[in-house]
Structure 1
Amino acid sequence: MQDLAQLESIALDLPQTKRGHERCVALLESAAELFLEHGYDAVSLDDIVNHAGGSKASIYKYFGHKEGLFKSICDYRRDQFFKDIFMPFNPQVSSFRNYLIQTLINFQEHLKQPEKAAFMRLILEQSQRNSEIAQHIHEHGPKKIQLAIAGWLEIAHKNGILHCENPLFSSQFYFGILRDIEWKILMGLPQDESDQENTNYIEYCVDRFLDGHQKP
C-alpha cells in the first residue's frame, strides 16, 4: 500500500491519517474495479461509495468529481507501473544492455496481465471521448515513461556507455520495440509467440538499438 507521501500527487486533499489514507485508496481501487466491470459511463459515484464504503463527500474532497477520480486512478496505477517495471540502473549489478532488456521484459509481462490490458483499453476509450483526459494520460503516462528512460540514456551517454545525442528521440525509438506486442494484446489477438521467442525478439532489438548508439 502506498504511504501518505505517495498519494500527494494523486489526491487533491492529501489524507493525513491512516484511516483517511485507507479510505482514499479504497475509493481508487473500488472505482477501478467497477469501471472495468461495467464501463465508465455506467458507474455512478453512488455505486462507487456503495462498493467502497464512505461517502460521496470523500470523493469530492479527495478527487473533486468523477473525472478527477478517473485521472487519479490512472495516476495511482502509473505509480504502481513504475514501481513494478523501472529500477534505477546500477552498473555494479547489471550491464546497460541487460538493464534495457529486463525493462522491456517487465513491461511486456505487465501488459500480458488481463486486468492491466483491460484497463489500458478503458484508458484508450475514455481518451477518445475526452481530450482533457487524453492530455492528462499522455503527460503523466507515456511521456513520463519516455522521459525516465531518456534520463538513463543521457547518463549512459555522459558516462561513455553509448553515444546518444537525443535521449528523448532514442527513448521513443526504444519503446517502439514493444509496439507490435502491445497492440496485439490491446486488440485481444492471440499470442502465437512463446515467452522465449518474445525474449529473443527483445534481445535482438536491444542489440540493434545499441548498435545504432555506438560512438562515431
Structure 2
Amino acid sequence: MSDFERLDPLRDIPHTKRGHERCMALLLSANRLFLEKGYDAVSLDDIVNHAGGSKASIYKYFGNKEGLFTAICDYRREQFFKDISLPFTQADQNLKHYLIDTLIRFYQHIIQPENAAFLRLILEQTQRNSDLAVYIHEQGPKEIQHSLAQALQIAHDRGLIFCSNPIFSAQMYFGILRNLEWRVLLNLPLPHKDERIDQETLNYINYCVDVFLGGHQKV
C-alpha cells in the first residue's frame, strides 16, 4: 500500500508530546518552504535546517518527501474544511441560510492567499502523480460533496426539498463557485484578499441558491 492509499499517511504516528511536536515542526516547516520556493526547489536538508532535527525523523514519520507533502495536504485539508461543511441536523435550521452560509465560508477560505497558493501547488503536483491526484480528490472534493449530500438527504427526508440524487445535486451546488476556483488556480485578481465578501458576490450566491432550491421543489 502506497502513502497515498493510507487514510493517515504517517508511517509512524508519534505517541509522545515531544514526538508530536517534532512531527508538526517538520510538517509546518515543509509547508512554509514549499509555498515560498516550490516543491522541487526544496530538499529534505532544507526542511531539516529550517525545522531542526534530522532527516531520520522525516523518514520515520513520513517515509520520504512525497509522503511529507501528502501529510501536509491532509493537515491543510482538515484546517480548510473544518468550518465549511457543518452538519445540517437541527430541526429548525433554515436550509436556504445553511446553503448560503456554506458557500460564504468556502469563499472566505479559498480567497486567502496561502490557501490559494497551496491549491496551485497541489494542482502542479497532481499533474505528475496520478496516485496523489486520486488521494486528493477522494479526501478533498469528494468528501466535501458527500458531506453536503448528507445535508440534502436530510432536507429531502424532512420534505423541505425533493432531491432524488443528493450526490449529483451536491456536485452542482459546489459548481456555483467554480468560476472563483478557476480565478484562484490561474492567479487572477480577486475582489478581496481577506475574508470580506463583496456585495456583488453575495448577491450572486443568494441568486444561485434560490435557483438551486427552485430546481429541488416537488413537481
How high is the TM-score relative to the length of structure 1?
0.91
Which moves more between the two structures, 164-173 or 12-21? 12-21
Is there any run of 5+ residues in structure 1 with no aligned partner, and where? 1-7
Counterpart residue number, 1:41: 40
Distance across 2 between alignment mates of 1:159 and 1:20: 47
Moved over 6 A (4+): none
The answer to whether 1:204 aligns with 2:207 is yes
Counterpart residue number, 1:170: 169
Alignment coverage as a number of residue pairs: 209
Structure 2 CA distance for partners of 1:192 and 1:16, relative to 1, 3 Å: closer
Counterpart residue number, 1:214: 217
Distance across 1 between alignment mates of 2:28 and 2:76: 10
Conserved 8 A contact 2:191-2:198: no
For residues 85-105 of structure 1, give each alpha carbon's deviation from its aligned partner in whole angstroms, at most 9, with x where no partner exists: 222224356411111111111
Counterpart residue number, 2:62: 63
Conserved 8 A contact 2:26-2:58: yes
User: Which one-letter code corresponds to 1:15 in the other structure?
Assistant: P
Percent identical: 65
User: Which one-letter code corresponds to 2:215 in the other structure?
Assistant: G
User: Which one-letter code corresponds to 2:39 in the other structure?
Assistant: Y
The answer to whether 1:113 aligns with 2:112 is yes
User: Which one-letter code corresponds to 2:104 in the other structure?
Assistant: I
How high is the TM-score relative to the length of structure 2?
0.90
Counterpart residue number, 1:89: 88
Counterpart residue number, 1:136: 135
The alignment yields a C-alpha RMSD, in angstroms, of: 1.7
Q: Work out which structure has the larger RCO, using CA pairs closer than 8 Å and 6 or more positions apart in sequence.
A: 2
Counterpart residue number, 1:4: none
Structure 2 CA distance for partners of 1:117 and 1:42, relative to 1, 3 Å: same
Distance across 2 between alignment mates of 1:146 and 1:66: 29
Distance across 2 between alignment mates of 1:130 and 1:152: 33
Distance across 2 between alignment mates of 1:83 and 1:192: 24
Distance across 1 between alignment mates of 2:198 and 2:214: 24
For residues 19-53 of structure 1, give each alpha carbon's deviation from its aligned partner in whole angstroms, at most 9, with x where no partner exists: 11111111111111101111111111111111111
Distance across 1 between alignment mates of 2:68 and 2:92: 39
